[in-house]
Every structure is written in C-alpha cells, then in structure tokens.
Amino acid sequence: MRTWSFVSLAGLSLLFSACNGSSTPVGAGTTGYSATVTRTALGIPHIRANDFAGIGYGYGYAFAEDNLCVLYDDLLTIRGERARYLGPNGTYTIPANDSVTDNVTSDFFWKLMANDEAIARLKAASVPEIRDATRGFVAGFNRYIREIRAGGHPNRHAACRDAEYLQPIREDDMYRRYFRLAVLAGTSVFADGIGSAQPPSPTNPVGPVLGADELRAALAHDLGPLAFFRQDRPFGSNMYAIGPQGSATGESMVFGNPHFPWEGSERLYIAHATIPGKLDIMGASLYGVPAILIGFNDHLAWSHTVSTAYRFTLYQLTLNPQNPTQYLYDGEFRDMQPVPLSIQVKQDDGSLQTVERTLYRTHYGPMVGLKINAPGIGPVNVLPWTNLVGFTIRDVNAENDRLLNQFAKWNQAKSLTEFKALQKSILGIPWVNTVASGPGERAYYADITVVPNVTDEQRTTCDAQPLASVFDQLVPGVPLLDGSNSACEWGTDADAPAPGIFGPSNLPSLERDDYVTNCNDSYWLVNSHERITGYNRIIGEEETPRSLRTRLCLLQADRRIAGTDGREGRKFTFEQLKDIVLASDLLSVELARQTVLDTICPLGFAIGTTGPVDIGPACAVLAAWDGRANLDSKGAHLWREFWRRAIGAPGGLPVNPLAPAIWNTPFSADDPVNTPRDLNTLLPTVQAALADAVTAVEAAGFALDAPLGEVQHSGIHDEYIPVFGGTGTEGAFTIVSPSGPLGESGYEITYGNSYIQAVTWRDGKVHAEGFVTYSQSTDPASPHYADFTREYAGKRWHKFPFTPEEIEAQKIAQYTLRE
C-alpha cells in the first residue's frame, strides 16, 4: 500500500485516509480550491473537481509528488535564473531539439524571448479554462513545495528539496513554460545563437566568413542546430487512425506513440480529469501543462506527430556599413531595437555578480547566429553578423497565443465533428500533425497548424541567395528570405484567425474509411492509396522519398488490411494493432539482409577501417536472427552497427546528393512505399560497414549473437531494465534512440517510445491501453520511478481505467485536497 507522508494535523488525516483507500477532506480553511485525487495502478492520478481551478489544483499537487525537481529546473531556467543559482559553468540542454547553451547565455536568451510583455499577451489571450487551471496548478504545486520545505515527504525529491531556489512558483512561470513549449521547434533550437548574438566590434571580431562552396562542405560535416530539421532526427512519433473499413469489427481505433526524450521536461505524464457534466478526459501532457495534449474519452481519441512544416523564417539583412545595428528595409535604414538585459551570476564564493548584455531585435524578431565546427577551420558562425550583413528570425509560435486554448476546447469536445471544427476555428496547434477518430467515425488526419504564410511563389523572388540554396540542399525547405524587402513579409489568409499564417483552407487534411497514418514525413503520403498535393513547400515536401520508418508505417497498415502480414484474417483487430506496434520489425532487414547474405557474406572477409575482418561468424548470426529488435532477438545489435555505418556513408542519408547511391533501384514518386530498394553491395563503404560492425561489437565486449535484452537497456534507471526496439534509421516502428554509440555498457536508451495509447470503443464506451515507457515519476524514491518501465519491458499492456468502476478496481490510494 502506498504511504503518504505530510506535515501538519491535516497531513496525518490524509495519511490515514490514503492507507484506508478512503477520501477525507484536507485543510482547515478554503480559498476556493478543492479536488479529489485517486491514484490507480502504476501511479496514474485521476483528478475529480467541480471546476477547472480544482482540476489544476489536484493536477499540480499530484504532478509535484512525481516530478517536482525536473519541472522546477525548467521553470528556473525560463525565468533566466539558472546562472544565479547554479553558477555560470553549467549548461542547459533541451533534449527534444538538441539545443545546448551555457547557463549565462541561456539566461539571456530566455530573458529576451519569454519577457513580461510576451507572457502577459499569452495570459490575456488564454480562455478562462486555461487561466483557472493554471491558477489552480500553481496553488497545488506550491502546496507540495510548502510541505517539502517544512520537512514533509522525507527522502523524496533529494535532488532539489534542500535547494535555495525551491520557492513557491508564480502563474507567470507556467505561462513561460507554455511559451517555451510553443517555440520548441523554432527559436529555442537557435537559443545559443540568439542569446550570444552581438554586433561586430574590436572586442567581438566576426571570425572566418565562408563562401558558398566552403559553407556547403562545412554544413555537410556539421549542421549544428539545423540538424534538428533533418528527416532522421530522433524527435518524432508514430500514429494511426483506423476507420471502419480498416477494422475487423467495424469499430474505429486510434494509436499514438510520441518518440520523446526519457529525460528532462519533455517527458509525458498521464492523468485523468473529470468535472461532472462538463469534462471527462484522459491522456498525456508534457510536464507542467494542465490540459490533455494526447488523449481519449467516450467521444473521440487523438494523437500527434511532429510535423515537417517550418515554424520560422530566417531573414538575411543588409546592414549599414557605418552602423551594423541598422538594416535596410524598402530602401531606408531602420534601427534595431537594443534590449539591455542583466542577470545575476553566482560566484565561487557564493556571492552574486550582475552581468549585463545587450541583445538586439528587428521588427521580425531577434538577431541570430548559427555556430558549427568546420573541418580544418574550427568554430564558424554560419550566420555571421558583419558590418555588411546580419540575420534575424521570426518565429510564428512566439506570436501564437492560442495553443493552450486549442487543447482546452478539444478536451471538452463531444464529437469528432466538433473536434475538427475547433481545429480550424482556433488554429492553435504549434508544431504537430493530428490523427483522430471516434466510435464508428472515419479516420482523420490534418496538419492544420500554425505555419508562416510564405508561398512558393514568394520564395522565387525572396530566397536570400546563395545561402538559401546551400541550406535547401542540405536541409530541404529551411526558409531564408531577403529581409530588406517588404514583399518578403508573411502574408495572411482570409480564413486565418491571426495575421501572418495560412488559414485552414491552405493546410492539408484527409479523411479515409480505411486508415491514415503519420510517422513524421510530410502530409503527402498518409495513406498509400491517396496523395495530398498542392501545398506550399514550407509545410512539407511532396513527391520525395519517405523514411524507412514511414514506409513501414504504411506497409503495416496495408498488409494487415489485406491479410498478407502472416496474422489471422484481414483488417485490424484491437489485439493485432497492439501486437503490430510493439513487434519491433525493421524494414531495413526486409530490404537488405538477404542481399548482404547473398553478395557480401560469400566473400568470407571484408575490408574495414582497421583492415580485413573475418565476417563468417557475423553472417551466420545474421542468417539465424529473427530479423527483429525484441529482447530475445540475437543479432539485432550487429545489424544496427552495420546499418548505421552503411546508411551513414556517402550516398546513404541525403547529405551529399553527388555521392554514389546506396540503392540500385531509385526512388519513384509512383511507388514511394517500395522505393528506393535493392542495396548496392558493390559499394566499398557498404562492405566496410559490415567489417566495422563486427569490430565494434567485439570491442564493446558483446557476443555477436547476444540477445538484444543483454545489450540494450534503460539509460535513466539505476536497475537494469532491458528495452526492446530499433532506431528510425533501421526502419523500425518500435523506436529507441541510444544516448551514444555501442560501448561496454551497451545501448543506453534515453529517448524513443514514450507515452503509448491504443484506443477503441466497445458498446459506445472507450477502451484504452498503453504505457508510459519511462514511468510516471522522475524521483528515484518514488514507487512509480520504474514500475511502468518494467511493464513495458515485458510488453504487458496496461488497461487505462476510465469509468468509476474501473478506477475503483485499480485504486491504490485516494485523497482530497482543499485550501
């Protein structure tokens, strides 16, 4: 039985009630907050209240119980107080977009971007449900902080419970958190280049400025922050909506599976919120968001994947040679806006020193740099601020004040029809595709999101050359426009709810009776039988190769509906859907293993980077391997080491389009699911990849035929918990992203499958199962620190309790909060 430890007489009353599974009011007085929290198996909180403030209150308290330190670290950062409490020498990383800044630069970036004006605007535009839930969240979160600081909850949250900074939070902290999430796929990717951008001066020399050819070569070696926008990035998701014609029972299904970090504040947290007669919604949210972002109820279910649309534009500025803080705009020079900022920096002796820095904004947005490591040259700023040229960025989601409103209204939707209408009318989704369905409803897909209104026609005259072409070759679609011409400003559609964005009529969507899917490629191919075309390139590419993962997403659906996947019958049953999504199949194996066995293995050896290697034993392992990435799969690690080298060589991933192709049959837009194919094993790099894979596995100390469960495990838990799954590069659907290359400790998983939901309806009632792969709590002292991870390792699907009867059957504790 879970034990709850509180300080005060009210806490003792709560402890008694929790151990007896009953509900007892807590708190002598009241300031309007009241909620009952019921914990069910694996730590899922079900919050019941009479209003949104109460929902936020219960949610904030329950969330603090599980993840106090991780969220507080993020709030501290977004306030611009990291250097004040943690000193100048540390760094701040956003694992979701690989942004890394030192503490000082991080503080200046967030002071600039999440300033009081931006936060006040976001707060003022929020609907009452969000304002109330936020206010309640702050009260509940602060209640737990007070109890911790008074000595309650002993042994819990050791990482921060005694920290000087652990003080009550404010409502503005939470709106800063919402803002931070909004710009995750935009300005925060460039946080280091924005927080450190300075005009040229004798004390701030520009450094080397590369020509177009040098720059192309340098970026092919190191894309820096631009790597986040590559097709093979880890930040992504898989999802299906299965319509009546794709279902064996005629009942719709929705599957969702974000591939998010296992560390940091972009983890997902499952909860259930109920206001009798008004709200009944369950699902997952990013940390600190008191609204369900991916969820389900009796009326509908939905999920998201990261969209290919760009949420920003870079602008190249022509500067005044006599004053590099002035830029040309329609024939006249404009002054940049200087933004003087100051932060407090903790010194070695504990004292505080004030550090000042002036950053600059244009009417587009902040000035920005982009730092990479150029081979043979060293650190280079790809977007240099010289006396002649500079660069600025406009982020559409820094202007998006509707994002939380979208989810607040979705959480209350009573039908799929209402859900779709709300997506178009609010148009607040910041950077994700959506699939959805409801009982007996069609399968719905949409990338109806906030996108800068930059048309293809506009880009023909506004792309800032030659740099735009360099970017476009290496990271297709990145918009770099001429900032000196008002014709290059964003347009506004007549049906757009805000200026500067496309309206829903110019954004892609599709409804089908069989299925829709998205696995992070563009909208163009979300069903293999129907193309979505005619949209502007800033939203996504059309008629281009799909990733191996996307191709597997489509093949799995097509084969199941046709009954050609080796499973019983045709079309999806709910159990088959669950089996498929965790099967750990790898499309690269289907496409290439036999070719390797037939053409490379007969050679007996291959020349690797260290010389000839006997590949006979490795070939025997690959021939006997089941071709999957399950815990008992023997050879999965060997294939991964081979494949990542083969596909990473010139001609593999699309870095150097002039390199020899790794596939003999090229991509065809007429057959995008089955092309490219036929591995070119005549390439020396492919043969060397197998030799080097053998060397790498042996150097790490693993047998070539070791079961994957002995090699791959959670990288965030102290205990060894094996983890199944493969990488997106391998063409896996069941995803892991190791924290580094194979070493003595194997593959340590810190990224990948996160929140998983499989949803259908039975007799008009929702039935949902799934996982939180890394578990609900980040506190090692919590009983819910690793319990869900163990269940996931065993593929033991958990029934998410939704009805009062189901909740009661799984109840492990219950308490009522009031103040």
Angle at 778 between CA 777 and CA 781, to 5 degrees: 80
Q: What single letter denotes the amino acid at residue 216?
A: R
Nearest to 730 by CA among 627, 618, 644: 644
Tell me what percent of the chain is helix, strand and coil, each rounded to the nearest 5. Answer: 35, 25, 40
Tokens standing for residue 727 = 């990488």
Is 237 an active-site residue? yes
Cβ atoms of 527 and 516 within 8 Å: the answer is yes
CA–CA separation, 307 vs 521, rounded Å? 7
State how far the Cα of 432 lies from the Cα of 372, in Å rounded to an integer.
28
| Contact criterion met (CB below 8 Å) for 360 and 336 | yes
Using H for helix, E for strand and C for coil, what is the string for 391-407? EEEEEHHHCCCCHHHHH
Give dist(CA 113, CA 169) in Å, integer: 19
- From CA 394, how far away is CA 689, in angstroms rounded? 42
Chain-centroid distance of CA 236 in Å reads 6
DSSP string, 211-235: -HHHHHHHHHH--GGGGGGSTT-S-
Choose, from 99, 126, 237, 285, the residue flagged as catalytic. Answer: 237
Instruction: Look at the chain and count its residues.
Output: 819
How far is it, in rounded angstroms, from Cα 506 to Cα 676? 30
CA distance 291 to 126: 13
Largest CA distance in the chain: 81
Residue type, 590: E
The answer to whether the Cα torsion of 612, 613, 619, 625 is positive or negative is: negative
Q: What angle do CA 434, 436, 440 make, to 5 degrees?
A: 165
Strand partners, 337: 361
Cα(158)–Cα(105) distance, integer angstroms: 27
- The DSSP-derived string for 225-275 is GGGGGSTT-S-EEEEEEE-GGGBSSS--EEEEEEEEESSSTT-EEEEEEEE
Measured CA angle at 315 (ends 311, 319), to 5 deg: 160
Give the separation between CA 181 and CA 314, rounded to whole angstroms. 20
| Residue whose entry in the numeric block shows the structure tokens 């039985």 | 1
* Three-state secondary-structure class, residue 699: helix
**Catalytic positions:** 237
